[in-house]
Amino acid sequence: MSTETNSPYLEDTQLRADIDRSLRHPVMFFFTSGAAWLAVSLVLGILFSAKVHSPGFLDGCSFLNTGVLYQAHLSTMIYGWGAQAAFGVIIWLMSRLSRQECKASGLILTAGHVWNACIAIGTIRILMGEGSGVAWMYFPKFIWPVLLAIYFFIGIWAVIAFRVRRGGHIYISQWYLMATLFWFPWVFISGHLFAIGYLGEGHEMMATAASAWYRSALMFLFFTPVAIASAYYIAPKVTGRPVYSYNLALFGFWALAIVGPWTGFQRLMGAPIPSFMQFLSAGAAILMLIPAIAVAINILKTASAKKDAMAHSPSLRFTVAGVVGLLVFAALGALMSVPGVMKYTQFSTAQYGLEITGLLGFFSMCMYGAIYFIVPRITNREWISVGLIRQHFWLTVYGVLFIAIFYTLGGGFLHGEILENVNESQDSAYTRLFPYAVSLTTGFIFILIATFFFCCHLLLMWLRLGRRSSHPTLLVRHAHGSPHGPEGDLDKLENLDSNLSTH
Amino acid sequence: MEPNLRDTPLRRFNTFWWGLALFVVFGIACFFLRTFVNDEMTDVDKERGQERLVKKDKVEAAQAAALKVDPTSVFDKLQNTLNAAPAASAVASPEAAEMAPAAEPTPAPAPAAPVEEAPAEAPTVTPAPAPVTPAPAAPAEPVAPTNPE
Amino acid sequence: MSVQPIDPKKPDLEESTNVAQQHAAVSRSASAASREQQLRENGLEPVSVWLFIAGSIIAIIAGSVLFKSNNLFGYDEFVKSGYIQAEGEGGPPPVPQGPVEQVYMAKGKELYSGSCAGCHGADGNGASCPPLAGSSWVVDSPYVPAFILKNGLGGEIIVKGKASTGTMPAVGGSYSDLETASIIYYIQNSFGNEVGKLYTLEQIAAINEASEGRSVVGACTAAELEPLKKKQVTGDFFAAGTVINKKTGEIIEAE
């Protein structure tokens, strides 16, 4: 803007709008393609889950075996949806908090396209049966260095933005984001090097341990801090209240940093790896409840300081649901690390159910909250339909609750009990577990429908078909006057200029 | 807005290249790890395989030593024997010819021993139907009709 | 927002700024940004005592799990000697069982197709090896096939008027009595053979004993087996329909 105004508020607003506009293409691309991959992943998940309880379903198709379906489902969910949503949030949030316009948008957009191409190639190779078979690293080996290089070209701009930031205060979200930007490549390199790089050379136990560690570390040192950073931004921003306790936030961050990297080996309880690793991880997994509770208290108290904000704002509603999901995820993880409980859950469906609860119930909900906040800003349009947002929210909550309660807890413990019972016949086990296996399919179907609505909504916004309004799309209609003033169509505001008599 | 004193091109440049350097250092560390950390790893299969290979060499050497006669040098003699007993071989050879290709997959009956006996047997067994010798001699039979040409 | 031209009488406003125009421009391009709240992080609520208590309980539980392992690198605590998994309330699983002729036939067929069909043919007519169909060596006595299975066969043998020479390895050298009985029953009752005798495991055991007590070492020859064709087993055969355990061959009493 070439006009000089001495209104710092206007300047700041203009700066924020410029930042949003500069980031429109890469961030919108990440969110839209991420949501599309999420839908793909859920379809694959439904097919996989259907084959578990109805083994003859879609038989005869070699690229629809249960094994490759599971691998493709998890790969697309983690690297197609999870990583891209996280990247979009990281670059937008870091730019905004550092008050830096992004000058490398084109490069980030290109990197995003290459990332998508890699995920597509990797998924097709998996379905053709050429996956690596290592948990959460199912893509063929050649894909991983490419993904790492792409990450560099996405993450470095956020680091630069932080280093040249404007302003004296470093926001809580920025701690988490900076930490993530360095944790992610470390976890990625270490995990892949020791789990895949040494495969077939006689170090199988090391590969197994590294793979188990990678699964926990990716969850706690990449997905968790990004979601927490988004929550620490959305909650005070939407409510206008300060974060409940700064000291608690500080404590929570350091607790996550110290405890997080130690988890993972408890999945291998009883395996021929040194025994201290397993018990250390089990202890750390229980200790993870502490940062989870710290974050949850902070965010929930901040959000509840303004009573009606959660009822009105979709971003806040999703974020708070995500933080509750964090508590549930940490509690389930802690429960499933106690050796007495592990007797039942270690080899049961509870493990996969826990991963899904964490990915869909916690991380995805926080990401949805961030997306509902960010997209109107970068496209300068408001969400079209309140109904779609409501459906998205409630169907996802139903789906995640189904999976967490029936599949993870109920099915997991029953499965464990059946495995413990040495005389149980195959038929009896199948009959007893059947309803719980079906509950996974049901949960996924709910979430797929919700995601479908979300994808359609996001696509319309991407095509700039959103509402051109000066009012946000809230979940509740204000019966009388809105705090934002009378609602005006953006276009009509243009007429104001021509109505003014110029001096 | 007050100017952002932190935002200099130098700082941006520095940050970018330090970040890249960090990645490259990791890459170099990985490279060194992979090339220079060599654990001598072996597994049970390889060990047992070594033992088996030693045994196999011994067995083959013993068999070669026990083979007093080169199989190919016996074919002519066999052929002459069969030609000399036309009535017997007229009955025997259709069966023999039919059996001969199927004799190929016979699991390793020791081929050396019957061939060794063949020069000894051939004169005595001529009146009887020609013995159907297994694989190495069998190709001699289909060869027999064409050889006069 | 109201539309007002700049009033020159109000000196507070900087003259060149058209505030309304500015506001309109901002609202158009930055409507979402303009209604955002400011991000404040200066909450100074004290951390509640309950959080400390909860954290301590969690830390105690975590510590108890952490220090459950007594060795750093030991594996002993993962192996409980004498551990037997519990049986469920449903009781032991049903024992696989069936009538003896079906068990023999099924097991014999499985063994035959795995080890014998390659040489003797799937129809018993003997592709590269002597036929079993209608062969007197097979049907006359169980001693002959049992001896051949246990010891192998070498030299010339005349089967159904045709002589064949070759070596058969001792395919059934490690067969259990049940497997030997099954394969003998199968070859004696397939390919057109119809002997129909259901040998008990004791009879097979007696045959095996005789086989071990042979004076000759190595593969059998036709000359050795010729007199065995007339040797019959003693004792009772299985009654048709006797139910036996598919895995061990034991007779299961009908309840």
Domain CATH for A224: 1.20.210.10
Distance in angstroms (rounded) separating the CA atoms of residues C211 and C199: 16
**What range defines the domain where residue A158 resides?**
17-468
**Are A164 and B7 inside 8 Å of each other by CB?**
yes
Instruction: Check residues C127 and B66 and name the one with the higher pLDDT.
Output: B66
The answer on pLDDT for B24 being more than 80 is yes
pLDDT for the residue numbered B107 = 42
pLDDT at B111: 42
Cβ contact C148:C119 at 8 Å: no
Angle separating helix axes C143-151 and C177-188, nearest 10 degrees: 130
| % of chain C beyond a pLDDT of 70 | 85
Interface of C with B in 103-122 (CB under 8 A): 118-119
Closest residue, chain C, to B108 (C-alpha):
C167
Give start and end residues of each alpha helix (H) in A305-404: 309-312, 314-335, 339-345, 350-356, 364-379, 386-402
Judge whether A116 is closer than 8 Å to chain C, CB to CB: no
Q: For residue A70, give every residue at least 6 positions away whose Cβ sits within 8 Å of its Cβ, in sequence order, or none.
A: A48
* Cross-chain residue pair A189–B42, CB shorter than 8 Å: no
- Which of residues C144 and C166 earns the better pLDDT score? C144
Q: In chain B, what are the domain boundaries?
A: 71-146
Q: Tell me the residue type at B124.
A: T
Say yes or no: A200 contacts chain B, CB-CB below 8 A.
no
State how far residue B112 is from chain C, nearest Cα, in angstroms: 12
Return d(Cα C253, Cα C190) in angstroms, integer: 29
Give yes or no for residue C2 having a pLDDT over 50: no
Q: What is the ipTM of this complex?
A: 0.81
Closest CA to C193 of C129, C133, C250: C133
- Is there a contact between B30 and A197 if contact means CB atoms under 8 Å apart? yes
Distances in whole angstroms, Cα of residue A4 to Cα of each of A14, A309, C22: 12, 35, 10
Rounded distance, CA B57 to CA A218, Å?
52
Q: Which of A215-219, B121-125, C226-230 has the lowest mean pLDDT?
A: B121-125
CB contact under 8 A, A290 and C59: yes
Residue of B nearest to A99 (CA): B4
In a domain, A180, yes or no: yes
Q: Tell me the CA distances in angstroms from A276 to A283, C67, C75, C226, one per residue in order.
A: 10, 9, 10, 70
Containing C98, the helix (H) or strand (E) segment is: strand C97-99
How many domains does chain A fold into? 1
Lowest mean pLDDT among A348-352, A397-401, B4-8, B84-88: B84-88
Distance from CA of A196 to the nearest CA of B (A): 12
Beta strand residue intervals within C93-232, DSSP E: 97-99, 156-159, 162-165
Asked whether residue A136 is domain-assigned, the answer is yes
In chain B, residues with a C-beta closer than 8 Å to the C-beta of C127 are 102
Contact C175, C149 (CB under 8 A): yes
What distance in Å separates residue A435's CA from the closest CA in chain C? 20
CB contact (8 A) between residue C163 and residue B106: no
Q: Which residues of B touch C118 (CB under 8 A)?
A: 105, 107
Angstrom CA distances, A83 to A164, A167, A326, A353, A360, stand at: 25, 29, 18, 20, 13
Q: Supply A334's token pair.
A: 């802690």
Supply the pLDDT for residue C255: 53
Comparing alpha-carbon positions, the chain B residue that sits nearest to C168 is B109
**CB within 8 Å of chain B, chain C residues 130-159:** 156
Tell me the C-alpha distance between B18 and A407, whole Å: 47
Of B102, B109, B129, the CB nearest to C166: B109
User: Would you call B100 helix, strand, or coil by DSSP?
Assistant: helix
The pLDDT of residue C238 is above 60: yes
Task: For chain C, list the domains and their CATH numbers.
Answer: 97-245 (1.10.760.10)
Instruction: Write down the pLDDT at residue A96.
Output: 94
Could you give the angle at the alpha carbon of A328 between the alpha carbons of A325 and A333, nearest 5°? 125
Q: Which chains have 3+ CB pairs within 8 A of C?
A: A, B
CB contact under 8 A, B1 and A201: no
For chain C positions 2-61, those within 8 Å of chain A (CB to CB) are: 3, 5-6, 14, 16-18, 20-48, 51, 54-55, 58-59, 61
Would you place residue C14 in the very low, low, confident or very high pLDDT band (cuts 50, 70, 90)?
low
What's the one-letter identity of residue A26? P
Question: Which carries the bigger pLDDT value, residue A71 or residue C30?
Answer: A71
Kindly identify which residue of chain B lies nearest to residue A159, measuring between CA atoms.
Answer: B15
Say whether B12 sits in a helix, a strand or coil: helix
Contact map slice: C 172-191 vs A, CB within 8 A: none
Contacts of A230 (CB under 8 A, 6+ apart): A89, A93, A173, A319, A366, A367, A369, A370
Q: What are the chain A neighbours of B33 within 8 Å (beta carbons)?
A: 193
Q: Two tokens at B149?
A: 């040409």
| Residue C21 exposure: Cα atoms within 13 Å on the Cβ side | 17
What span, in angstroms and rounded, lies between the C-alpha atoms of A85 and A95? 16
Cα angle at A471 between A469 and A475, to 5 degrees? 120
Distances (CA, A) of A374 to A17, A91, A99, A239: 11, 11, 15, 16
Tokens of B143: 């060869």
* φ and ψ of C9, to 5 deg: -80, -10
Please give the structure tokens belonging to residue A247.
Answer: 């000291």
Token pair 């099954």 is found at C182
Residue with more model confidence, B80 or B142: B80
Which of A95, A101, A286, A288 best probes binding to C when mutated, by most C CB atoms within 10 angstroms? A286
User: A286 by DSSP, 3-state: which?
Assistant: helix
pTM: 0.72
Helices assigned H by DSSP within C36-96: 49-66
Q: Describe chain A by its helix, strand, coil percentages, rounded to 5.
A: 75, 0, 25
CA distance A313 to A302: 14
CB A236 within 8 A of CB C42: no
Q: Is A431 exposed, middle or buried (0-12, 13-18, 19+ CB in 10 A)?
A: exposed
The tokens for C118 are: 């390659």
- Interface probe with B: pick from C128, C167, C168, most Cβ of B within 10 Å: C128
Is the Cβ–Cβ distance between C62 and A192 less than 8 Å? Answer: no
Does residue A486 fall inside a structural domain? no
Helix then strand then coil, in percent of chain C rounded to 5, is 40, 5, 50
Q: Is A119 part of any domain?
A: yes
Residue A4 resides in a domain: no
φ, ψ for residue B51, nearest 5 deg: -60, -45
Integer Cα distance of A488 and A467 in angstroms: 11
Higher pLDDT, A368 or C226: A368
The overall average pLDDT reported for chain B is 67
In chain C, whose CA is at the least distance from the CA of B91? C162
Quote the CA–CA distance of C90 and C95 in Å, as a whole number: 14
Backbone angles phi, psi at C236, to 5 degrees: -85, 145
Angstrom distance (rounded) from CA A157 to CA B19: 10
Instruction: Give residue C224's pLDDT.
Output: 85
The answer to whether C250 faces chain A, any CB pair under 8 Å, is no
> How close does chain C come to B111, measured CA to CA in Å?
9
Q: Chain B: which residues have CB within 8 Å of chain C? A: 95, 99, 102-103, 105-107, 109-110, 114, 129, 131-134
Q: What is the mean pLDDT of chain C?
A: 81
Token digits for A292?
């989870």
On whether residue A353 sits in a domain, the answer given is yes
pLDDT bracket for residue C129 (50, 70, 90):
confident
Point out the residue among A172, A282, A420 whose CB comes nearest to the CB of C41: A172
Backbone φ and ψ for C235, nearest 5 degrees, come out as 95, 175
Beta bridge partners of C164: C157
Secondary structure letter of residue B130 according to DSSP: P
User: CA–CA separation, C73 vs C52, rounded Å?
Assistant: 34
Cα dihedral A263, A265, A268, A271 sign: negative
Contact list in A for residue B15 (CB cut-off 8 A) is 156, 159-160, 163-164
Return the amino acid letter for A260. G
Shortest distance, CA A276 to any CA of chain C (angstroms): 5
Interchain contact C80–A (C-beta under 8 A)? no
- With a cut of 70, say whether residue C91 has pLDDT above it: no
Q: Among A170-184, B20-34, B69-83, where is mean pLDDT lowest?
A: B69-83
Cβ of A380 under 8 Å from any chain C Cβ? yes
Q: Is A238 within the bounds of a domain?
A: yes
What does the block give as tokens for A359?
Answer: 């990915």
Q: Report whether B70 contacts B116 (CB < 8 A).
A: no
Rounded distance between C-alpha atoms, residue A448 and residue C14, angstroms: 56
Q: A221 with A264: CB under 8 angstroms?
A: no
Confidence check: pLDDT of B101 > 50 = no
| Chain B neighbors (3+ CB pairs < 8 Å) | A, C
Of B106, B129, B133, the CB nearest to C128: B106
- Closest residue of B to A7, CA-based? B1
Task: Select the residue from B16, B28, B46 to test the A interface by mutation, using most A Cβ atoms within 10 A.
Answer: B16
Residue A309 has a pLDDT of 85
- Flag whether residue A346 sits within 8 Å of chain C, measured between CB atoms: no
Contact B41 A193 (CB under 8 A): no
Residue A1 lies in a domain: no
CA distance A263 to A282: 7
Q: Does A192 touch chain B if contact means CB atoms closer than 8 Å?
A: no
Lowest-confidence range among A94-98, A415-419, B28-32, B92-96?
Answer: B92-96
- pLDDT by residue for chain A (503 residues), tens only, comes to 444 445 777 888 888 999 999 999 999 999 999 999 999 999 999 999 999 888 878 877 777 888 899 999 999 999 999 999 999 999 999 999 999 898 899 999 999 999 999 999 999 999 998 888 899 999 999 999 999 999 999 999 999 999 999 877 899 999 999 999 999 999 999 999 999 888 777 788 889 999 999 999 999 999 999 999 999 999 999 998 899 999 999 999 999 999 999 999 999 988 888 888 999 999 999 999 999 999 999 999 999 988 888 888 999 999 999 999 999 999 999 999 998 899 899 999 999 999 999 999 999 999 999 999 999 999 988 899 899 999 999 999 999 999 999 999 999 999 998 888 877 778 888 889 999 999 999 999 999 999 999 999 999 999 888 888 777 888 876 655 556 666 667 666 544 444 443 33
Reported as a pLDDT band with limits 50, 70 and 90, residue B131 is very low
A-B CB pairs within 8 A amount to 52
Residue A196, token pair as written in the block: 């895949």
DSSP letter at B133 equals -
What would the two tokens of residue A414 be? 């029953």
- The pLDDT confidence band at residue C86, using thresholds 50, 70 and 90, is low
Q: With contacts defined as CB-CB under 8 Å, which chain C residues touch A270?
A: 78
Question: What pLDDT is attached to residue A495?
Answer: 47
Q: Is C128 on the interface with B (CB under 8 A)?
A: yes
pLDDT, residue C168, reads 82
Instruction: Report the pLDDT value the prediction gives residue A302, as an integer from 0 to 100.
Output: 93
Backbone angle region of A29, left / alpha / beta, with phi > 0 → left and psi within -120 to 50 → alpha: alpha
Give buried/exposed letters for B71-96 (b at 16+ CB in 10 A, else e).
Answer: beebbeebbebbeebeebbeebbeeb
Are the C-beta atoms of residues A256 and C54 closer than 8 Å to each other? no
- To the nearest whole Å, the CA of B52 is away from the closest chain A CA by 21
Contact yes or no for A17 and C94 at CB 8 A: no
Q: In angstroms, what separates the C-alpha of B105 from chain C's closest C-alpha?
A: 8
